[in-house]
Amino acid sequence: MNNQDPIADMLTRIRNANRVGRKLVMVPNSKICTGIAGVLKTEGYIDDFDTIEDQRQGVLRIKLKYAMDGGKVIHTIDRRSKPGCRVYSKVGELPSVLNGMGICVVSTSKGVMSDRKAREEKVGGELLCTVS
């Protein structure tokens, strides 16, 4: 199956698994999906992720994180920039999600990073998704 938007596919799989309370999500592997998973891990939204090699491109296995009482850590995860309408932002215009309680994942010339790290590095880029 040819997937035109791997980022939207990844976010939808995470959103659906989080909604029903699954612990693991399997996503087709790509560089951008690995970068987004790395940002989600460093910001504390997922427990861990690893790559499983197969005969094709591989699979990214993401372990979702839940609170001790079973509450969800990821409340909303939304796609910002889409293939039909790309959204770019300068470093001074990066949006603040929930007044700093959430993150915005940005694809920059220095790699995929959170909005906080992009402000530290003083670099803007394409707004991929927001997580809160």
**Domain-by-domain residue ranges, the chain?**
6-131
- State the maximum Cα–Cα separation within the chain, in Å, rounded to a whole number: 44
Question: What is the full per-residue pLDDT of the chain (132 aa) written as tens digits?
Answer: 568 999 999 999 999 999 999 999 999 999 999 999 999 999 999 999 999 999 889 999 999 999 999 899 999 999 999 999 999 999 999 999 999 999 999 999 999 999 999 999 999 999 999 999
Question: Nearest 5°: phi and psi at 110?
Answer: -100, 10
Q: Residues in the chain, how many? A: 132
Complete DSSP assignment for 75-118: --EEE-SBTTB--EE-GGGPPPGGGGTSEEEEEETTEEEEHHHH
Query: Among all chains, which residue has been given the structure tokens 């700093």?
Result: 100
Pick the CATH number of 6-131 from 2.40.50.140, 3.40.50.300, 3.30.1490.10, 1.10.10.10: 3.30.1490.10
Q: What is the pLDDT of residue 2?
A: 64
Which residue in 48, 53, 128, 130 sits closest to 97, CA to CA? 130
The answer to whether residues 29 and 69 touch, using CB atoms and an 8 Å cutoff, is: no
Q: What is the pLDDT of residue 14?
A: 98
Which residue in 105, 108, 100, 103 sits closest to 124, CA to CA? 108
Contacts of 84 (CB under 8 A, 6+ apart): none
Q: What is the pLDDT of residue 19?
A: 96
Q: What is the pLDDT of residue 3?
A: 81
